[in-house]
Amino acid sequence: MKNPESSPAASIPDVFDPTCSSRHALELIAGKWPMLIISALENGPMRNAALMRRLGDISQKMLTQTLKELERNGLVIREDMRTVPPHVEYSLSPVGRSLSETLLVLDRWAETHFGALDAARERYDTERRK
């Protein structure tokens, strides 16, 4: 967000303001992997390998990077069980849980409307080939 001292309106969050931190929040979750990881964790803690299986086609590098970014921003909690061999679990923080509730609506929308999107894309591509 802009410097709060610059004007009274500057303290009002505005995702259309490029200097507002609320825009960073949107950028953080806008990608495929953050959204899927948060949704995957909504039913409770998971280990790294379980997350990889659940997500299907994510690389270890991308999973690690995304989990670190989600942890850094307070959406995911990493718990090291301090065992040998290492056992680490990831879970949603309270703010991560609040986000997962919102993402669940988006997940259901995608699952309901993917057919219409696929059909529209096919029509568009067919028309452009003519």
Residue written as tokens 């995608």? 110
* Span 87-119, pLDDT tens digits: 999 999 999 999 999 999 999 999 999 999 999
Q: Does residue 123 form part of some domain?
A: yes
Structural domain including 124 reads 31-129
* Span 6-63, pLDDT tens digits: 444 557 899 999 999 998 899 999 999 999 999 999 999 999 999 999 999 999 999 9
Q: Does residue 7 form part of some domain?
A: no
Q: Does residue 117 form part of some domain?
A: yes
Q: Does residue 124 form part of some domain?
A: yes
Query: In the chain, which ranges are E strands?
Result: 46-47, 76-80, 88-92
In the chain, the number of structural domains is 1
- Output the pTM of the full model: 0.82
CATH of the domain at 111: 1.10.10.10
